Amino acid sequence: MTTQVQEPAIHVQGLEKSYKKLEVLRGVDFDVERGSIFALLGSNGAGKTTVVKILSTLLKADAGIASVNGFDVAAQAADVRASISLTGQFAAVDEILTGRENLVLVAQLRHLKDPDAIADDLIERFALIDAAARKVSTYSGGMCRRLDIAMSLIGNSQVIFLDEPTTGLDPEARIEVWQVVKELAKHGTTVLLTTQYLDEAEQLADRIGILHEGRIIVNGTLAELKDLLPPAKVEYVEKQPTPEEVFFAIVGDDDKDEARRRQ
Amino acid sequence: MTTHFFGDTAVLTGRSLRHITRSPDTIITTTIMPIAFMLLFVYVFGGAISSGSDSYVNYLLPGILLITIASGISYTAFRLFLDMKSGIFERFQSMPIARSSVLWAHVGTSLVANLVSVVVVVLVAVLMGFRSGAGVLAWLAVTGILLLFTLALTWLAVIPGLSAKSADGAIAFSYPLIFLPFISSAFVPTDTMPGPVRAFAEYQPVTAIVNAVSDLFTAQPVGTDIWIALAWCVGILIVAYVFAMITYRRRIS
């Protein structure tokens, strides 16, 4: 048991994957400590999704080692699947079912007791009470994503993969997702998230790995990454409001202002 | 993992059956074309066709039922394609479930949906004057053959469902299957067809199945046709299943 605790939640070493002639991963190495948030940062097509798919047993690597929760993704795929939850790049929800039915479905598939109670609890936590009985096809993008993440929390998996959780969301929904992710890590869940946005990695991650041309070129805490830059110079610049500040100033959503201050 | 196979398949079948009850148009569009063919052939062409049977609708129905199934299974390909595209297929595959239950749920749904469609078409045929002297056993045998035919074609439908690039591509494969009964004994006896067409018509699977179902409906001894029909269904089933599994493994590796 003690060795398990020492072991990283995710261990990746020399991971390689090609699609026909296109080399996507050329030897990716990184570890993710238990209960921490690791952000895989990279541009479109850098191979972030490929890494997530290999770790969630949806894709087989050509070479290298990958283990999740101490289980090898190739040899012990079933054990890996019992340890993880995946939130893919696009909200993987059933649009014809209601929000509630989606949650119950996942709880049933995870063979949990009392799927209805689990659904009720998540509906409340994710502020979906009014929408729970509606077909998901009527939901906004942000609501879909919230439901999607709620579905991933069912069964309290030890490791959660979030593949670009905020891509395509409006600023308000984005901050909501961030709060959920922080909440998760507080409860000891290990989170691997991929993102194209440096500010998202900065907001959420304990460690950041930059994936570029099939390799992790930098891996460290935000402070360590900043140290790699030339020392800061003192300059006087007019501070422009961020797009989010402009958005909230216009929308004037008090709750969200408060939410931001709490962060 | 197989411990949960039946439970997981039941849960997922419940899910896709709900898709059908929420959009009953899938049943309507499945049955409308065979019913239209039936009306057209019985009331427009029927008078001019000498089928050697007293009632043309009696002669026609077995072929119409196969057309119903052929158009019904295209929805399996379509629903599977949507699951692949929406990412929910990947979500299920990354969960601790019996993985193959995702496909079996679609197959089970197809069996239920096609059975409902077939019943609807039979009821319309009864309104149009279809009568059968078949007993309970013969009806059970007809149901069995049609379910086996549905099962075989459904596994065939799984292949484009898993591999199609567009929704149109996913359902296009069913068009030739819908057309196949026309070049068989389903609408007219094969005797009047020119040589090569007749040879094709007599040795393709639809003819054997149509003849077997027809014999059962008219309460006649089924002869060897039923064995040929069963052999075709089982043969198609095995080949389709093997190719579906190859396609499936390619998609998840």
Residue-wise pLDDT for B178-219, tens only, equals 888 888 888 778 778 888 888 888 888 888 898 888 888 888
Q: Report the share of chain B in percent with pLDDT over 70.
A: 96
* Per-residue pLDDT, B150: 94
Closest approach of A164 to chain B, Cα-based (Å): 14
Question: How many beta carbons lie within 10 A of that of residue A5, not counting itself?
Answer: 7
B1, pLDDT greater than 50: no
* Per-residue pLDDT, A255: 55
B61, pLDDT greater than 80: yes
Asked if residues B117 and B28 have their Cβ atoms less than 8 Å apart, the reply is no
Mean pLDDT, residues B96-112 taken together: 92
DSSP state of A206: S
* Per-residue pLDDT, A104: 95
CATH superfamily of A2-262: P-loop containing nucleotide triphosphate hydrolases (3.40.50.300)
Is residue B191 left, alpha or beta, with left meaning phi > 0 and alpha meaning psi from -120 to 50? alpha
Closest approach of B1 to chain A, Cα-based (Å): 8
Domain definitions of chain A by residue range = 2-262
Question: How many beta carbons lie within 10 A of that of residue A18, not counting itself?
Answer: 14
Note whether B19 contacts A57, CB cutoff 8 Å.
Answer: no
| Cα–Cα dist A119/A104, whole Å | 6
Largest CA distance in chain B: 60
Q: Distance between alpha carbon A169 and the CA centroid of its chain, in Å? A: 14
* Per-residue pLDDT, A84: 93
Three-state helix/strand/coil letters over B22-55? HCCHHHHHHHHHHHHHHHHHHHHHHHHCCCCCCC
Chain A residues whose CB is inside 8 A of the B6 CB are none
Name the β-bridge partners of A13.
Answer: A65
Task: Give residues 173 to 192 of A whose Cβ lies within 8 Å of B.
Answer: none
| Cα–Cα dist B12/A254, whole Å | 42
Domain definitions of chain B by residue range = 2-251
Note whether B95 contacts A109, CB cutoff 8 Å.
Answer: yes
CA atoms within 13 A on the CB side of A228: 9
Chain A residues whose CB is inside 8 A of the B92 CB are 109
DSSP state of A135: B
Note whether A96 contacts B95, CB cutoff 8 Å.
Answer: no
What is each CA distance from B120 to A75, B19, B68, B74, B115, in whole angstroms? 49, 19, 10, 18, 9
**pLDDT class of B52 with cuts at 50, 70, 90:** low
pTM score, whole prediction? 0.84
| Cα–Cα dist B89/B80, whole Å | 8
- Amino acid type, A129: I
* Per-residue pLDDT, A253: 62
Burial class (CB in 10 A: 0-12, 13-18, 19+), B204: middle
| Cα–Cα dist B213/B215, whole Å | 5
Chain B residues whose CB is inside 8 A of the A91 CB are 87
Asked if residues B117 and B27 have their Cβ atoms less than 8 Å apart, the reply is yes
- Could you tell me if B92 lies within 8 Å of chain A, comparing CB atoms? yes
Closest approach of B9 to chain A, Cα-based (Å): 9
- Could you tell me if A88 lies within 8 Å of chain B, comparing CB atoms? yes
Largest CA distance in chain A: 60
* Per-residue pLDDT, B51: 62
Tell me the H-state helices in chain A: 2-6, 48-55, 77-83, 99-109, 115-125, 141-153, 171-186, 198-204, 222-227, 243-251, 254-262
What is each CA distance from B57 to B27, B206, B210, in whole angstroms? 22, 18, 13
Chain A residues whose CB is inside 8 A of the B94 CB are 56-58, 81, 84-86
Q: Lowest mean pLDDT: which of A179-188, B39-48, B170-179?
A: B39-48
- Could you tell me if A115 lies within 8 Å of chain B, comparing CB atoms? no
Residue-wise pLDDT for B71-97, tens only, equals 899 999 999 999 998 889 999 999 999
Output the CA torsion A224→A225→A227→A230 (10° steps). Answer: 180
* Per-residue pLDDT, B243: 94
- Contacts for B170 with CB less than 8 Å, ≥ 6 apart: B74, B77, B78, B80, B81, B160, B161, B164
- Parts of chain A with a pLDDT under 50: 1-4
Task: Give residues 20 to 59 of B whose Cβ lies within 8 Å of A.
Answer: 22-23
Of B1, B87, B94, the CB nearest to A84: B94
* Per-residue pLDDT, A3: 46
B240, pLDDT greater than 90: yes
Residue-wise pLDDT for A197-251, tens only, equals 888 888 889 999 999 888 898 888 888 887 777 766 677 777 788 878 888 888 8
**pLDDT class of B175 with cuts at 50, 70, 90:** confident
Note whether A94 contacts B15, CB cutoff 8 Å.
Answer: yes
